Each structure stands twice: as C-alpha cells, then as structure tokens.
Amino acid sequence: MGKRLSIAIDMDDVLCQTTERLIERFNAHFQQQLSADDLGHMMKKSELPKEMIQFVLGEFNQPGFARKLEVKENAVEVVRALNDQYDVYIATAAMEVPGTFTDKFHWLEDHFPFLDPHYFIFCGNKEVVRADYLIDDTVKQLHQFKGTGILYTAHFNRGLETPFKRVDQWSDVYDHFIKQFDERLTERAKFN
C-alpha cells in the first residue's frame, strides 16, 4: 500500500492541559478566581492585561512547568491507537517558549513512551511540518500548515468560525481517524 498516512499533533491544550495549569498559577499569584473560560473570553476580545501576559509567559518558561502538565482525557489511549495505523508526529511551537524544550521532551517520554522521539518536532511555524494531517488548537498554525488541518477545541477558540474540521475531545479524534480510517484513505487517494 505504500507509505502510511501521517498525523502531526500539537501539545499545548491538545495533548496536555496547559491553560488550566496557567490559570491555576495565575490565580494563586494574583489571588484571583479566573476560569479557563474567562481567559478564553479575554483572549478572543484581546483584553489580556500586560501583567497577565508577562506572568503567563514567565510561568510557561519556568523549568519544570511543562513537565507537570496533566494529560487530556483519553489522549494516551487514542494516540496509541493512532500510532498503530498512522505515522504520528508531535509538533509543538516551542520556539515561542524556549524554556520548555527539555520539559516537553521528557513529558512526552513520560506520557507517550510508545512514540518515536525522532518524530518530535520543536518548531515555531507549523508550515515546516510535513504530514497529511495536523491536529492543533491554533487557527493560525492550521492556516500555515500545508496538509489537512483539524481544529482541536480550546477555551480560546470556542465559537470561532473556521474552514477546519473541529474536534472537541479525544474521542472525536478516535472517531475521525480510527473509525473512519477508510474515509481517510479515500481522501489521501484524491490528493495523490
């Protein structure tokens, strides 16, 4: 049959609960009660205070921060199933937060030991990623990607109208790529 189909998967707010951890740290530091939905609303309206942006970037770049992130529900099981049928790459925009490289690498080894670390891509712009599909929560990254983009719902992209297929959770990813595998093969044949 030839080369397997390939899927690149973003990390932050796709595989791991980055926003939830940042909100937890922000609330503790500033004695606030913001929710992840509050942050998403503020991001949509470009209302993030400068002090919040600086704090979030500082926290994100702290050694150990990315290593302690929680895995999204069902992500490990679904990525394992994907890895059985597809070439799976992890593509994270780590250039934006360079202090996270080592922690992200070890986090992937800890939670996804079945993935080939040679398929971990630390980049800035996901235009450089060569895969058939990219699952990402950032519309900008999906627009830059050359393959088929899949938008993973996050607090800041809820309600956005985009040209991309949307998945809300990992069970949706399973349905789209595992249950509908034959449809993915048909899609590939159309583009080749």
In a domain, 47, yes or no: yes
**One domain for residues 56 and 83:** no
pLDDT digits (tens, 9 = 90+) for 61-108: 999 999 999 999 999 999 999 999 999 999 999 888 888 999 999 999
- Give residue 40's pLDDT: 67
The residue annotated as part of the active site, out of 12, 103, 132, 136, is 12
- Of the chain, the percentage scoring pLDDT greater than 90 comes to 69
Co-location of 83 and 55 in the same domain: no
Pairing between strand 6-9 and 133-136? parallel
* Structure tokens given for 1: 């049959």
pLDDT in tens, 52-65: 888 888 998 999 99
Give backbone dihedrals phi and psi of 88, rounded to 5 degrees, phi first. -105, 125
Look up the domain containing 183 and give its range.
6-17+69-191
Overall domain count for the chain: 2
Looking at the structure, tell me whether residues 91 and 59 fall in a common domain: no
Q: Identify the active-site residue in 10, 13, 136, 137.
A: 10
Note whether residue 1 is domain-resident: no
Q: Compute φ and ψ for 28, nearest 5 degrees.
A: -65, -40
Which 3-state string (H, E, C) describes the chain? CCCCCEEEECCECCCECHHHHHHHHHHHHHCCCCCHHHHHHHHHCCCCCHHHHHHHHHHHCCCCCHHHCCECCCHHHHHHHHHHHCEEEEEECHHHCHHHHHHHHHHHHHHCCCCCHHHEEECCCHHHCCCCEEEECCHHHHHHCCCEEEEECCCCCCCCCCCCEEECCHHHHHHHHHHCHHHHHHHHHHHC
Unique residue bearing structure tokens 């800041």: 156
* Whether the predicted pLDDT of 120 surpasses 50: yes
12 is catalytic: yes
180, part of any domain? yes
